Amino acid sequence: MNDKKVGLSDTMRAKTEPKTFKRNPIPGTKFTIAISSAKGGVGKSTFATNLALALKKVGCKVGILDADIYGPSLPKLFSINEKPDSDGQTLKPILKYEIQCMSIGFLTDEQTPMIWRGPMVTSAIKTFTQKVGWKDLDFIIVDMPPGTGDTQLTFAQEINVDGVVIVSTPQEIALQDVKRGIRMFEKLKVNIIGLIDNMSHFIGDDGEKYAIFGEGGVERTANEFKKEFLGKIPIHSDVGKFGDEGVPIVEKNPEHDISKIYINFANKIKNKFN
């Protein structure tokens, strides 16, 4: 079926065009950076948490807003089991590894699926951005859900997002979605900071480099759209292992080769906002 005929792009236009946006900054924060990927499972949450910790290492005050309402990862990746306090007006972020954290997963239990319609998602995002007591943050890192849906629209239209980093793996099937994501952010006039090639390759015990998902696809896509290519993160089993333990690699072992890559990204990104 032809997308154009069924008018999918028209629906998008109807949602995005008639309004002139009055974008609000998130109170208590200087800069908002969204981490996006059009596809799930490409390592976006892993990137978001390690980038936040790397920004802390380079001297910034950082918060993480887990905006993946249907699949929150922050409770697991940061091993947070407590519920946030509230004074009836605002929710207090949970402080872990010196990072201010908020996730829908703090308010629900792990087993319960979120069965929410679009407007509920939109109102949850508004609560998380306007009714959380974020304090003195240089950066808030927003871990976005995959896709081009209500969360992305709400952020782009209502919140002053200073930039988005797009994470992808190098397979064609992921890149196709990345292109869709880039076009969406361009339409919504959200600044794209750059693209990351995650799980770019694997170094075997033999020291050989294996480009399991093909080589250079993310960089080519960045060039095609005249966006900055920020760099590669190889596959390393420690990334997954430490993530599963609830202590991301940058926190667990800042001297690790992979941690150094995240810290390098943090410096790059920080310097763009100075």
| Amino acid of residue 176 | Q
Residue 182, interface with ligand ADP (CB under 6 A)? no
User: In whole angstroms, what is the distance from residue 160 CA to residue 150 CA?
Assistant: 16
Residue 100, interface with ligand ADP (CB under 6 A)? no
Mask of contacts with ligand ADP, 107-146, x by CB under 6 A?
----------------------------------------
Residue 29, interface with ligand ADP (CB under 6 A)? no
Sign of the alpha-carbon dihedral angle for 180, 171, 72, 100 = negative
Sign of the alpha-carbon dihedral angle for 102, 199, 245, 147 = positive
Q: Return the number of the residue (73 or 151) whose C-beta is nearest Mg ion.
A: 73
Q: What is the 3-state secondary structure (H, E, C) of 174-222?
A: HHHHHHHHHHHHHHCCCCEEEEEEEEEEEECCCCCEECCCCCCHHHHHH
Residue 42, interface with ligand ADP (CB under 6 A)? yes
Nearest distance in Å: CB 134, ligand ADP: 22
Residue 67's binding partner out of Mg ion, ligand ADP, none, with CB under 5 to 8 Å set by partner kind: none
User: In whole angstroms, what is the distance from residue 30 CA to residue 15 CA?
Assistant: 28
Residue 73, interface with Mg ion (CB under 5 A)? yes
Residue 199, interface with ligand ADP (CB under 6 A)? yes
Residue 59's binding partner out of Mg ion, ligand ADP, none, with CB under 5 to 8 Å set by partner kind: none
Neighbouring CB atoms inside 10 A of 89's CB total 7
With CB under 6 A as the rule, give the number of residues binding ligand ADP: 17
Q: Return the number of the residue (40 or 231) whose C-beta is nearest ligand ADP.
A: 40
Mask of contacts with ligand ADP, 219-248, x by CB under 6 A?
--------------x-xx--xx--x-----
Residue 56, interface with ligand ADP (CB under 6 A)? no
CA distances from 274 to 54, 97, 161, 182, 217 (A): 16, 24, 16, 25, 30
| Amino acid of residue 32 | T
Piece of 16-24, 41-49, 170-178, 221-229 that binds ligand ADP (CB under 6 A): 41-49
Task: Look up tokens 């699949």; give the residue.
Answer: 71
With CB under 5 A as the rule, give the number of residues binding Mg ion: 2
Q: Return the number of the residue (93 or 170) whose C-beta is nearest ligand ADP.
A: 170
| Residues between 216 and 245 with contacts to Mg ion, criterion CB under 5 A | none
| Residues 61/68, Cβ–Cβ less than 8 Å | no
Residue 40, interface with ligand ADP (CB under 6 A)? yes
Nearest distance in Å: CB 244, ligand ADP: 7
Positions in the binding site for ligand ADP (CB under 6 A): 37, 40-46, 73, 198-199, 233, 235-236, 239-240, 243
Positions in the binding site for Mg ion (CB under 5 A): 45, 73
